Amino acid sequence: MKILVVDDLDTFRNIIAQSLAKLGHEAITAKNGNEAIELFKKVHPDLIILDVVMKGMNGFECAKQLRILVPDDWIPIIFLSGAVSDSDIEQGINAGGDDYLAKPFSEITLAAKIKAMERIASMRLKLIETTRNLSVLSSTDTLTGVYNRLQFDRIIKEKISSASRHRTIFAVLFIDLDKFKAVNDIFGHPTGDLLLQEAAKRLTFCLRKHDFVARMGGDEFAVILSELETPDIAGNIAKKILHVFSSPFRLEENILHISASIGIACYPLAGTDQASLIQNADIAMYQAKSKGRNNYQYHTEDHNKKFKEKIVLEDALKFALEKKELFILYQPILNLKTKKMVGAEALLRWKNEILGIVSPDVFIPIAEESGLINAIGKWVLKTICQQATKWHKKDSDFKLSLNVSSIQLIDNDFLPFLMNVMEETKTPASLLELELTETSIMTNPVSVETVLKKIHELGISISIDDFGTGYSSLSLLQRLPCSTLKIDKSFITGIATNKNIIINSVITLGNSLGLRVIAEGIETQEQLQFLRDKGCELGQGYFLSKPLTAEIINDLILNKKLISTTTVS
C-alpha cells in the first residue's frame, strides 16, 4: 500500500515510516497539512495517517480538504493523536476520518488498523464492480448484447426531455423480423437465437454513434435515431436497414433469407410522450407488415384510425362464435360443360349486430393474427363435416371445399381434431377438399408440407387456391400431394386481355398432370365460353351462382344439381 504519513514531528514521522516499510508498505511523508494536500494530488495514496495536532492547519481541517479533492472516491484516513477523548473521536469522524490511533502505539496495532482499512477498501472495490456489472446486466439484453426494454424506456425519456428543450426531432423505429416464428418452428430455437444475434449486429452496423438499438422482446427491436435534421433521414436509415437485412443470414449450416418490417414514429409529429411514440411506431410497423412486409412505414393519423378499427373488430370477433354470429354460405362449383353442380366451396360469413356483415377478407387476417382462427376454423370444419355427410346421403359424390390457413395447419391440434370430427360425423374423406393459397404454404413450407402429406394420406384432397398469384407455383406442384388447381379470379377477369396465356398454360398444366382445374370468379358469358373452349372442366363465379345458403343448396341437390344462371341471385 502507498501510505501518506502526515505529522509535524520529525521523529514520529520517521518512526511510522520505518514501521510501514517493515510491514511492506511504501510510506510518503508530509510535515504539515499544506504539504500533505500537494503530495496527495501527486501520489494518490491508498491510505493516510494524519496527525491531529499540528502547527498551522490541524489534522481535521486537512482531512476535510482532502475529502473535497476526491468527492467520488474513498481513501481511508487514520487520525493520530495523543490523548484521545470521545469528543476528539466525534470531531474526527465528522471531518471524514475512518479510525483513530492513540500515541504511543505498537507496531502490531498499526499493522492491524492498516489491515482493517485494506479489507474495507477491497470490499468497497468489489461492491463497485458488482454494481457496475448489475447495471450493465439490467440495461442490456443478454442474448444479443444490445440494450433491453428497460434501458430503452430510460433513453426515450431522456430523448424526449432533451428534444423538447432544444426543439430537435428524433425518431423511434420498431423493427420486426418477418416470419421469425417460422425460423424457430423449422430450424429450432438455437438457430432462432443466432438469427437474433446476427440481426442485432446488422442493426448496430446501420446506426450512427449517438443512436440506440434495443431488443424489446421476441423478434422485435427498437431503434432511437437522435437529433435528425428532417424526418426523411429516418426513412433513409430504414432503407439502409432493409438493405443490410436483404443479404442472406448464414447461421451454422443454414442459409436463411429474412426480411424486416419497420415502423417509424418521429418526435414530435407522431407523439410527444413515450407511450404514444412507442404505440405509433408499433402501429406503423404493423402497417408495413400488412403492405407485404420488407418495407417501412411512417406513422400517420390514418394508421391510427385503421388500428382502432382493427381493435374494435378483434374485440367483437372474440365473441362471434359464442354469439352464433358466424355462418357459412356455399358457392356451387359446376362442371362447365354440363352445368352440373359437383360440389361447393364453403365461405365463412360474419354478421355482427353493430358492425353488420364483415367480409372474410377483413376478419380472416385479424383472426389469423390473433390466433382466433384456430377456434373459428374448428367450428367451420365441424359444420362442414356435418353438412357434407347430410348431402352425401342425397348425392354420393357432392364435394365440399373449405379454406384453411397455414396457421391452422401448424396448430398441433388440427390433425387430431380433423380426424375426430370426421369419425364423429362419419364423413367420408373423399367428400372433403382443403383449399390453401400458395402464399400461405410458402410462409411455413416445411411444417405445412408435413401436415398436408398426412391429410392426403387420410384421403382428403388438397387444392391450391389463387393459383398463379404466388411465386413458386411449379415447385409447389412437384412437392405437394395436391389434386386441384384454382385459377385465381384476377386471371379470369383479365380474359380478353393478355392474361389468356396464363389461363391457357394453367389449364394445360393441370390437365397434363391429371389435376382438377377450377376457374374462380366467372362473371360473364364470354369468360365461361372461353374457359369451356380451352378445356377447363370446372368453374365457380357470380355468373354461375353467388354463394348460397345451405337450404338453397339442399334444394338444388334435390332438383338434380342443374343451375340455370337465371334461377340464382
Which residues contact ligand C2E (rule: CB under 6 A)? 331, 347-348, 359-361, 364, 380, 402-405, 435, 465-466, 489, 520-523, 540-542, 547
The answer to whether 405 contacts Ca ion (rule: CB under 5 A) is no
Q: What distance in Å separates the CA atoms of residue 284 and residue 265, rounded to the nearest whole number?
A: 8
Cis peptide before 268 (omega within 30 of 0): yes
For ligand C2E, the closer of residues 191 and 406 by Cβ is 406
The answer to whether 438 contacts Ca ion (rule: CB under 5 A) is no
Count CB atoms within 10 A of the CB of residue 257: 11
For ligand C2E, the closer of residues 83 and 357 by Cβ is 357
Q: How far is the CB of 465 from Ca ion (least distance, A)?
A: 4
CA distance between the termini of the chain: 99
Count the alpha carbons within 13 Å of 53 in the hemisphere toward its beta carbon: 10
The answer to whether 466 contacts Ca ion (rule: CB under 5 A) is yes
Count CB atoms within 10 A of the CB of residue 266: 25
Written as nine digits, the cell of 501 is 396465356
For ligand C2E, the closer of residues 16 and 531 by Cβ is 531
Q: How far is the CB of 517 from ligand C2E (least distance, A)?
A: 15
Tell me which residue has cell 391450391: 464
Q: Which among 28-36, 240-248, 468-476, 519-527 is the span making contact with Ca ion, rule CB under 5 A?
A: 519-527
Q: How far is the CB of 479 from ligand C2E (least distance, A)?
A: 22
176 binds, options ligand C2E, Ca ion, none, Cβ within 5 to 8 A by partner type: none
Q: What distance in Å separates the CA atoms of residue 121 and residue 265, rounded to the nearest whole number?
A: 49
Helix (H) or strand (E) holding 78: strand 77-81
In contact, 92 and 60? CB cutoff 8 Å: yes
For ligand C2E, the closer of residues 207 and 528 by Cβ is 528
For ligand C2E, the closer of residues 144 and 405 by Cβ is 405
Q: How far is the CB of 346 from ligand C2E (least distance, A)?
A: 6
Give backbone dihedrals phi and psi of 478, rounded to 5 degrees, phi first: -70, -35
Written as nine digits, the cell of 3 is 501510505
Q: Is the dihedral of CA 410, 414, 416, 418 positive or negative?
A: negative
Q: Which among 215-223, 279-287, 428-436, 490-498 is the span making contact with Ca ion, rule CB under 5 A?
A: 428-436
Q: How far is the CB of 435 from Ca ion (least distance, A)?
A: 4
Residue 211, helix vs strand vs coil: coil
The one among 435, 464, 480, 485 contacting Ca ion by CB under 5 A: 435
443 binds, options Ca ion, ligand C2E, none, Cβ within 5 to 8 A by partner type: none
547 binds, options ligand C2E, Ca ion, none, Cβ within 5 to 8 A by partner type: ligand C2E
In contact, 433 and 402? CB cutoff 8 Å: yes
The one among 29, 144, 387, 403 contacting Ca ion by CB under 5 A: 403
Q: How far is the CB of 502 from ligand C2E (least distance, A)?
A: 17
For ligand C2E, the closer of residues 261 and 374 by Cβ is 374
Q: How far is the CB of 519 from ligand C2E (least distance, A)?
A: 10
478 binds, options ligand C2E, Ca ion, none, Cβ within 5 to 8 A by partner type: none
In contact, 327 and 289? CB cutoff 8 Å: no
For Ca ion, the closer of residues 192 and 547 by Cβ is 547
**Nearest alpha-carbon partner for 204 in 223, 191, 220:** 223
The one among 176, 211, 282, 465 contacting Ca ion by CB under 5 A: 465
Angle at which helix 414-425 crosses helix 373-394, to 10 degrees, equals 30
Q: How far is the CB of 160 from ligand C2E (least distance, A)?
A: 43
- Helix ranges (H only) for 140-188 are 149-166, 180-187
Q: Which among 8-16, 406-414, 476-484, 512-520 is the span making contact with Ca ion, rule CB under 5 A?
A: 512-520
- The gap from C-alpha 21 to its chain's centroid, in whole angstroms, comes to 63
Q: Which among 152-160, 395-403, 419-427, 443-451 is the span making contact with Ca ion, rule CB under 5 A?
A: 395-403
Q: How far is the CB of 228 from ligand C2E (least distance, A)?
A: 41
For ligand C2E, the closer of residues 144 and 427 by Cβ is 427
Question: What are the DSSP calls for 246-280, one per residue?
Answer: HSPEEETTEEE---EEEEEEEETTT-SSHHHHHHH
Q: What distance in Å separates the CA atoms of residue 95 and residue 67, rounded to the nearest whole number?
A: 9
86 binds, options ligand C2E, Ca ion, none, Cβ within 5 to 8 A by partner type: none
Helix (H) or strand (E) holding 391: helix 373-394
Q: Helix-strand-coil percent breakdown of the chain, rounded to 5?
A: 50, 20, 30
73 binds, options ligand C2E, Ca ion, none, Cβ within 5 to 8 A by partner type: none
User: Interface residues with Ca ion (CB under 5 A)?
Assistant: 403, 435, 465-466, 520
